[in-house]
Amino acid sequence: MSAGFAFELLKTDGGARRGRLRLAHGSVETPAFMPVGTRGAVKGVTLDAVAALGADIILANTYHLHVRPGDDVIARVGGLHAFAGWDRPILTDSGGYQVFSLSSRRQVSEAGVVFQSHLDGKPLTLSPESAADIQARLGSDIAMVFDECPSWPATHEAAEASMERTLRWARRGRDRFLDLAAGRVPEVVRATPGQAQFGIIQGSTFKDLRDRSVAGTVAVGFDAYAIGGLSVGEPIDAMYDIVEHTAAQLPGELPRYLMGTGMPDDLVESVARGIDMFDCVLPTRNARNGQLFTRRGPISIKNARYAEDLTPPDPECQCPTCRRHSRAYLRHLFMSGEMSGAALNTLHNLHFYLDTMRAIRNAIELGTFRVFRTAFLDTYSRRRPD
């Protein structure tokens, strides 16, 4: 286990777990939601605001920061924390997801992936080793191992081949990480000495492949484990089923991270299945598109019915947006294309996600998570008539 990394399991309540993660730059209360800060910035809001909303940790994208401004630049100024002015924990993804979803003309081989930058078409390479090097330079608290992200649906054969490759890459990525940690790669600056590394479980929606992925990845031995390859288009019940099946096999004394999920009810349902960490672009991306999450479900702020509605987006909400502003004003800002509309919507949605996690943690501490879960799902409608 990496120096500086520890997970304390404080309480369980059914499948739900209340924990505390200790990382190089501070503690994270779990279950935790990590706002997505793609380029070292959470879209639409300042990091001051993200801190004020109570985020313990943010996620940044290895791929995007590698392309611009470059991990060499970030290493020279002392790592991503110094560069971005964020002193709390940061998790960096492996870059795999973006390589497979953003770049054109990629060539995947056993060595790694050669692809063209989505910015300028420049040829770039990511491999288990280089993804570890880049994240060492970025100096995140948690680095993710480089994995292959198959699209959905996939045949059993394709998903198996991809999962097997991810396993082989996991061994190489872990070896490189351990070499970096031991100072055996002096040419790569390691901006955060206490960096930890998580492995990623793949296997699409096939339980037998997930089983083999868990066994193989845990055999490699990471600081903790994430479930990848979900929230990529599969039916929601299939996702919940794979989450439940996979989480149950992961080491109970380590945090479990479900990558890229999800809607607010997905967070509640996944906590019930033993997940401790989440990231998702939905609260920030949907904010910019005018969708606001409320206790009763999402609302679309551009709806004409809100033109003269002086109530806040969510009357029960204590966020900076709801304390000062009305639906009428937010609709006006959206219709006018005012930047501060996106900022206010983002503040609200991030608050909603972070506050939902606070409520979840509180319920687990009180041993009332089952009641909380039922009440939340009774009230929350994924598709609110709008």
Prior bond to 69 cis, omega within 30? yes
Cβ proximity to a copy of itself: between 45 and 267 the closer is: 45
* 13, 141, 279, 355: the active-site residue: 279
CB of 56 to a copy of itself, least distance (A): 17
Dist. CA 345–CA 189, nearest whole Å: 38
CB of 235 to a copy of itself, least distance (A): 34
Helices (H), 248-298: 264-272, 282-288
CB of 335 to a copy of itself, least distance (A): 7
Contacts with a copy of itself, residue ranges (CB under 8 A): 39-48, 68-69, 73, 76-78, 82-85, 307-308, 310, 320, 324-326, 328-329, 332-333, 335-336, 338-344, 347
Dist. CA 101–CA 103, nearest whole Å: 6
- How far is residue 240 from each of residues 237, 261, 266, 273, measured CA to CA in Å? 5, 11, 8, 8
Cβ proximity to a copy of itself: between 333 and 364 the closer is: 333
Dist. CA 203–CA 159, nearest whole Å: 6
Q: Which residues contact 49 (CB under 8 A, 6 or more apart)?
A: 320, 343, 347
Contact 155, 111 (CB under 8 A): no
Cβ proximity to a copy of itself: between 73 and 111 the closer is: 73
Cβ proximity to a copy of itself: between 48 and 316 the closer is: 48
Catalytic site residue 179? Answer: no
Query: What is the longest distance spanned by two Cα atoms in the chain?
Result: 64
* 13, 71, 93, 276: the active-site residue: 93
Q: What share of the chain is helix, strand, coil (3-state, %, to 5)?
A: 45, 20, 40
CB of 203 to a copy of itself, least distance (A): 34
Catalytic site residue 276? Answer: no
Active centre residues (catalytic): 93, 279
